Every structure is written in structure tokens, then in C-alpha cells.
Chain A
């Protein structure tokens, strides 16, 4: 393994950027309408448990990547087979993220540009970043991700006059079921996706125990910030528009009085996507190279990215399919990858440790 190190603050910002990836443009809890905030809290707790599980796996298997852990626990052949499934899953969801951002940009700013052109240009940039190494990705996240915080704060402060602070009432109008479904959605997208970091954690340069702190801290910060944004969406747009809108943050940005900041803000919202996709591509290429015993993951980055871009165009025919898939299918599709296999890994690693 090449000797690349990531510092604590870089890891923190990478996780935040990753989590804000698609959630900065889509609202996964919107199906809970005015109880969306409750879904964020419940789903956040569930998702935090998932993240805790991944971190525990990383701590029990220090300086091992996901592929190595899988091979250790399941044996060479089964481990590699599962690893390949994981690679498929990672590539698939990087393709979905590409698609999310492609649809976003095409809908809000460039309606006549073919989406594949936008995704292609985006991908070319990310290939460059990933080829330069995970270190470069994390350093650029150090530069860019703090902007996301600034944007969220600026938007919510500039809209303070248009808030309706009782918009989240009445509580649980449609019962608890939609809330739980939305919470589940939120736990698997984006929090459960943190498992990808099992490919990145080995690069962490401090003691492995610090990892717990950093992961906990970043997840808590993310959940609080997201809760803040959801309340803001509810207060500014109301439940109906929150439910109907395709890209809520863009509408929110366009409502800032006396200014047309939305193009600028749209660009900032893409930052998270950049971080997310580059980590996915890195993880997929790295995992692929480890499965087949190739020394340098960089050789496969172009191939993985190309496939991911093609997949992103191929995977849906229209925007509503994308939304429907993210809400209905994605959470269940994620169960084996985000919950079942990590749970087995955790238990068997724990047993191996105590034996």
C-alpha cells in the first residue's frame, strides 16, 4: 500500500463533504412532509449506529481496507466474491450521484445542455483529482467543504424574514409510518454510505482510536446541520412545496430577497458531490485493484469512471424514476451492503479479537 496519510481535520471534512454530497441537492426525507425533521432525528440516530459499526470494524482491523477485511473473515474466494459485489454497489451509487448532479444542473441552470456532457466534464475533473491521490482529494476538501457550512448559514440567515416558525405543525398528521420510512431512507442515504470510508480509514495518520471521535463528531455535526436545513426548508417553503419540489435548495437560494445568488450557490452545492464521487471512485478502483492484486489503483480509475458515467446515463430514463428509486428501492437494496455484511464482519472480527 502506498504511504498516503490523511489528517484528522481532513478526514472530518471528507466525511462531512461526503454526507452532504447528494443531500445538499436532494431531500431524502421529503416524503415525511412536515415531520421530515423527526425523520432526520430518528434516521440520524439509526445512521449513527451504522457509522459506529463501520468505525468499530475499522478499529478491530487496523490498517486494513474493506477488501482485506472481507478476505480475512470470509476466506479468499468468498471474500473476493463479496468484494466484487461491493465494487458493483459502489460504482452503482457513484453513478447515481453523477446522475443526481447531472439532473440537478440540467434542471436548474443548463436546460438545453445534454446531461452527458455535464457529467462527462465533471467526471474528467474527478478522474484528475483521484489520479492525483486521495491526499489531493482530502486537501481540496479542506479548501472547499468549509464553504458548504458558510453557504448553509448565509442562506438561512438571509431568509430569516420569510420564516413561518410553526410550519412543522401538526405533529405526525399522517401517523408514524411515513416518518419511519423516511427515517430509514435517511439512515441508508447518506449515512449508511459511509461504509465506503472503510477503504479510506487505513490512511488515517493518527492513532486508530481517534477515528471514533472524528467519525462521531462529523456525523453529529452533519445531522445537526441537516436538521437545521430541514427546518429552514419547512419554515421557508412549507410542507407542500418541500414535498413537490425536485431540488429544494435551489428554490431556497432563489428566494433570497433582492439578489440572484442561486447560480453561485448551485455551484457550491456541487462541492459535496465532487467529494462524494471522488471517494467512491477511489474506493472502487482501490478495491478492484486489491481484489485482482494490481499494485496501483490509478490504472483502473479511468475505466471505473467511464463505466460509472455510462451507467449514470443508462440507469434511469427520466428524473421521476431517479426520485422513485432513491425513495423506494435504494433503502432495501442497501440492506445487505450497509447492514447485514458489516454486521457479520463486526461480529466475526470481535470474536477473532477475543479468542
Chain B
């Protein structure tokens, strides 16, 4: 259910924006960056929707700071 909702929302967003990009004949790098960010978001939200949360940036940063030894 959640997965379907996520897919629908992303489909609407991506369809809306990409059709605009193509109509306005934007350079390919716009589409590339856009697709990169959107697919990253899509992957994460699908994982979240499936209940399998990957370790988030807060954890990475905390881990990195712990490595340096700033945070105990």
C-alpha cells in the first residue's frame, strides 16, 4: 500500500517535470541531475515504505565524528 502510494507520487512528480524539460528542450545535464536526485529519493523512500530503513546520514555523520574523536 505504502509502496504504491510512493510510486504514484513519484510518477506524477517525475512525469510533470520531465515533460516540461523535454518541451523546453533543456540540456541533457538537467535531466541527468534531476533523474539522479529523484531516483536516489525514490530508492530511499521505497526502502522506507517497505520498512527496511537504511542507516541514515545522521548515523554516518555521528560515526564519522566518533572516528575523529570529537563526539564520545
Contact = CB atoms under 8 A, between A and B. Distances in A.
A311 to B, nearest CB: 7
Contacts of B45: 310, 313-314
A347 to B, nearest CB: 24
B1 interface: no
Interface string A331-342: 011000000000
Query: Which of A293, A306, A311, A313 lies at the interface centre, i.e. has the most chain B CB atoms within 10 A of its CB?
Result: A306
Contacts of A302: 13, 16-17
Given A310-B44, A311-B57, A315-B56, A303 B65 contact: no
Contact of A314 (B10, B27, B48, B62): B48
B45 to A, nearest CB: 5
Interface in A304-325: 304, 306-307, 309-311, 313-317, 321, 325
B53 A317 contact: yes
Nearest to A96: B58
Nearest to A294: B30
A299 B34 contact: yes
Interface in B24-58: 26-27, 29-30, 33-34, 37-38, 40-41, 44-45, 48, 53-54, 56-58
A328 B71 contact: yes
B70 interface: yes
A321 B54 CA distance: 16
A288 interface: yes
B58 A303 contact: no
A306 B41 contact: yes
Interface string A267-310: 00000000000000000000010001110000110111011011
Given A329-B61, A332-B71, A303 B26 contact: no
Given A292-B33, A332-B65, A315 B41 contact: no
Interface of B: 10, 13, 16-17, 21, 26-27, 29-30, 33-34, 37-38, 40-41, 44-45, 48, 53-54, 56-58, 61-62, 65, 70-71
27 contacts: A92-B57, A292-B29, A293-B29, A294-B27, A294-B29, A294-B30, A299-B21, A300-B30, A300-B34, A302-B13, A302-B16, A306-B13, A306-B37, A306-B38, A307-B37, A307-B41, A310-B41, A310-B45, A310-B48, A311-B56, A314-B53, A314-B56, A315-B56, A325-B58, A329-B65, A329-B71, A332-B65
Q: Which 10 residue pairs across A and B have the least CB separation, nearest first?
A: A303-B37, A310-B41, A332-B70, A315-B56, A307-B41, A314-B56, A310-B45, A306-B41, A303-B34, A315-B58
